[in-house]
Chains A and B, each alone.
Chain A
Amino acid sequence: SRTSTKLTTGVTDIFTKKKLDEDTLEELEDLLLSADLGTGPTEEVVGRLRRERVGQDVTDEEVKAILAEVVADTLRPLEKPLAVNPSHAPHVILVVGVNGAGKTTTIGKLASKMKAEGHSVLLAAGDTFRAAAIEQLAVWGERANVPVLTKPNGADAAGLAYEAIEKARTEGHDVVLIDTAGRLQNRSELMDELGKIVRVIKKLAPEAPHDTLLVLDATVGQNAISQASAFTEIAGVTGLVMTKLDGTARGGILVALGDKFELPIHYIGVGEGIDDLRPFDAGEFARALTADV
């Protein structure tokens, strides 16, 4: 229908019509904000065009190139696949995020990947709340062929995390991936519970968790900013994974997040299969994002 055509041909629409003037820049600004790039990167693109090109003819291709450059420059320093350090014995990875973001699935994919890299992996089914969350992780454990520590529904998640680290120590696993229940960042009682999981882990291993991954759904809008800031405050997020980039969502909010928080972006999820996890590539991401603008 008309609306989506308008959305996808945004830059082309604006820049085949007329010379670069304030109106065009304003339209471009709207477009970039609506791609969730955030005000910083948006201002940078618009500012650059205003300084360098006002009054001249500018092609849509040039605008897209500048945009891709700004996006790639913002995100390139954040490319950083997760590295397991077996000397931590075990390397503890806590996985957090809002409901339905893709935490459990991402753990399944990571487990398979780490196992293939030769690590001994233990999963901890720390979502003892949601219906059949434990069974879901257990299936992923089977698929990745790694053991899963579970406790009955309703069990204390912090206690389970503690036991998982103990178990990894006695059994000699290199890495423990801890699943947690989805929680919205404004629900303080649930965030307190997450804070407690981190504190209890630290009692046993003061340096742990060595990585705390915030899993974000690519369809999320501006709320991702509040998610990143709340989960970082409570759980000390050290890196991001963005899921569901195989859909129509382009995840432009990563640019705003990168600009604001400078958290490494470890991986992107591109499907529901066990191998559908890719290292984050800023250049590729920038091209995909701008192709659509």
Chain B
Amino acid sequence: MFDTLSERLGGVFDRLRGRGALTEEDVTEALREVRVALIEADVALPVARSFVAKVKERAVGREVLKSITPGQQVVKIVHDVLVETLGGSEGDHELNLNRPAPVPVLMVGLQGSGKTTSTAKIALRLQKTEKKKVLMASLDTRRPAAMEQLKVLGEQAGVKTLPIVAGQSALQIANRAMEAARLQGFDVVMLDTAGRLSIDEQLMAEVSDIHRATDPAETLLVLDALTGQDAVQTAERFKERMPVTGVVLTRLDGDGRGGAALSMREVTGAPIKFAGVGEKIDALDAFDPERMAGRILGMGDIVGLVEKA
């Protein structure tokens, strides 16, 4: 049901026959299609607008490469700007755990976004590939069987979880986790929190208290890649309450176009660190801006073509 950007641009391509430099007119017409394509890929409107403005600035006056059409030239610029925007700088996509142990990592996000699963995935990864000794703690005192869920995942992953003590507040559990990690020589403490709506004042205050008390090295906002326009609200409101240092994008094994990735990246300014690609505990990839760009644009094809040009 999604037109790929190249199909969308088909009509515009046909009219863009000239060679030489791209004129403002050429570009404006093509960019209207780009904007609609981005919205259809779930990029939030304000983000799509500012993105398109960036592309326009880059494109006007640019010489068209000999081997491609002016339309393809526009697409190449769109793609390049997208990769740059999603990508950020070298090393951005790694966790930054350069701190005296135990290093806290805080996981936050909306209900059902994939926090608990991602907590276990990241813990497993740190333990396996970086040989860190990891403790996981569920601060979710609300959702039925949430603590049990993390415990089971810990057993599956072979990662230790903080023993469950009924009746403690999320903040008390966080403090107990840090204390236990100090005493038992853990390197990293993964703190899984309850899902919360960004407009839930009480819960947002709770998580910012936890943030203040634990001073995490990384605060990872977990976002479902199937999210639509609402990604902007989520990003802004979480960012208002705590410094988000990274984003985990889940359900990239789905067939969503994933435009929320761009919205998140633009609004939080934080790099996307991981991609969840399944329900299993090892289904976690490093984030790949190139692949993500192709996916949002729905056009691996034309990019390959332009790359060769």
Residues of A within 8 A of B (CB): 1-4, 6-7, 10, 26, 30-31, 33-36, 98-102, 129-133, 135-136, 138-140, 143, 182, 184-187, 217-223, 225-226, 244, 246-250, 252-253, 272
Whether B39 pairs with A33 at a CB distance below 8 angstroms is yes
Whether B229 pairs with A34 at a CB distance below 8 angstroms is yes
Chain A residues whose C-beta falls within 8 Å of the C-beta of B146 in the assembled complex: 132
- Within the complex, the shortest CB–CB distance from B257 to chain A, in Å, comes to 7
Given that A3-B236, A100-B113, A248-B198 are known contacts, is A226 also in contact with B35, CB under 8 Å in the complex?
no
Q: Which residues of chain B in 209-253 are interfacial with respect to chain A, using CB atoms and an 8 Å cutoff?
A: 224, 226-234, 236-237, 251, 253
Say whether B102 faces chain A, with CB atoms less than 8 Å apart: no
Whether B144 pairs with A99 at a CB distance below 8 angstroms is no
Task: Tell me which of B50, B152, B198 contacts A247 (CB under 8 A).
Answer: B198
- 12 further contact pairs, Cβ within 8 A, besides A1-B236, A34-B44, A186-B254: A3-B47, A7-B46, A26-B32, A30-B35, A34-B45, A99-B251, A129-B279, A133-B145, A135-B144, A219-B231, A221-B230, A248-B230
Counting chain A CB atoms within 10 Å of each CB, which of B231, B254, B257 scores highest? B254
Complex Cα gap A4–B230 (Å): 10
Chain A residues whose C-beta falls within 8 Å of the C-beta of B40 in the assembled complex: 33, 222
Whether A132 pairs with B149 at a CB distance below 8 angstroms is yes
Given that A221-B260, A222-B2 are known contacts, is A35 also in contact with B229, CB under 8 Å in the complex?
yes
Residues of B within 8 A of A (CB): 1-2, 32, 35-36, 39-42, 44-48, 50, 110-114, 142-146, 148-153, 156, 197-199, 224, 226-234, 236-237, 251, 253-257, 259-260, 266-267, 279
A-B contact pairs, 7 of them (CB 8 A): A10-B45, A30-B35, A30-B39, A135-B149, A186-B253, A248-B237, A272-B111
Counting chain B CB atoms within 10 Å of each CB, which of A31, A226, A253 scores highest? A226
Task: Tell me which of B42, B198, B231 contacts A222 (CB under 8 A).
Answer: B42
Q: Is the interface of A mostly helix, strand, loop or mixed?
A: loop
Chain B residues whose C-beta falls within 8 Å of the C-beta of A133 in the assembled complex: 145, 149
Whether A184 pairs with B251 at a CB distance below 8 angstroms is yes
Chain A residues whose C-beta falls within 8 Å of the C-beta of B226 in the assembled complex: 98, 217, 220-221, 223
- Within the complex, the shortest CB–CB distance from B34 to chain A, in Å, comes to 12
Chain A, Cβ-Cβ closest to B252:
A184
Complex Cα gap A249–B47 (Å): 17
Chain B residues whose C-beta falls within 8 Å of the C-beta of A221 in the assembled complex: 42, 226-230, 256, 259-260
Whether B143 pairs with A272 at a CB distance below 8 angstroms is yes
Given that A99-B114, A184-B253, A225-B1 are known contacts, is A7 also in contact with B232, CB under 8 Å in the complex?
yes
Chain A residues whose C-beta falls within 8 Å of the C-beta of B266 in the assembled complex: 3
Whether A36 pairs with B229 at a CB distance below 8 angstroms is yes
Whether B198 pairs with A136 at a CB distance below 8 angstroms is no
Whether B114 pairs with A219 at a CB distance below 8 angstroms is no
- Within the complex, the shortest CB–CB distance from B21 to chain A, in Å, comes to 26
Report the tally of A-B residue pairs with Cβ distances under 8 A.
162
Complex Cα gap A218–B224 (Å): 12
Whether B267 pairs with A3 at a CB distance below 8 angstroms is yes
Given that A100-B113, A100-B114, A131-B156 are known contacts, is A249 also in contact with B230, CB under 8 Å in the complex?
yes
Complex Cα gap A36–B227 (Å): 11
- Within the complex, the shortest CB–CB distance from A49 to chain B, in Å, comes to 18
Whether B224 pairs with A100 at a CB distance below 8 angstroms is yes
Chain B residues whose C-beta falls within 8 Å of the C-beta of A219 in the assembled complex: 110, 224, 227-228, 230-231, 234
Task: Tell me which of B46, B197, B199 contacts A4 (CB under 8 A).
Answer: B46
Whether A244 pairs with B197 at a CB distance below 8 angstroms is yes
Chain A, Cβ-Cβ closest to B233:
A248
Chain A residues whose C-beta falls within 8 Å of the C-beta of B41 in the assembled complex: 222
Chain A, Cβ-Cβ closest to B36:
A33
- Within the complex, the shortest CB–CB distance from A34 to chain B, in Å, comes to 4
Complex Cα gap A185–B226 (Å): 12
Task: Tell me which of B150, B236, B256, B279 contacts A223 (CB under 8 A).
Answer: B256
Complex Cα gap A186–B225 (Å): 14
Whether B143 pairs with A223 at a CB distance below 8 angstroms is no
Complex Cα gap A59–B100 (Å): 60
Chain A, Cβ-Cβ closest to B42:
A221
- Within the complex, the shortest CB–CB distance from A273 to chain B, in Å, comes to 10
Chain B, Cβ-Cβ closest to A102:
B112
Chain A, Cβ-Cβ closest to B253:
A184
Chain A residues whose C-beta falls within 8 Å of the C-beta of B148 in the assembled complex: 131-132, 135
Chain B residues whose C-beta falls within 8 Å of the C-beta of A98 in the assembled complex: 226, 251, 254
- Within the complex, the shortest CB–CB distance from A220 to chain B, in Å, comes to 5
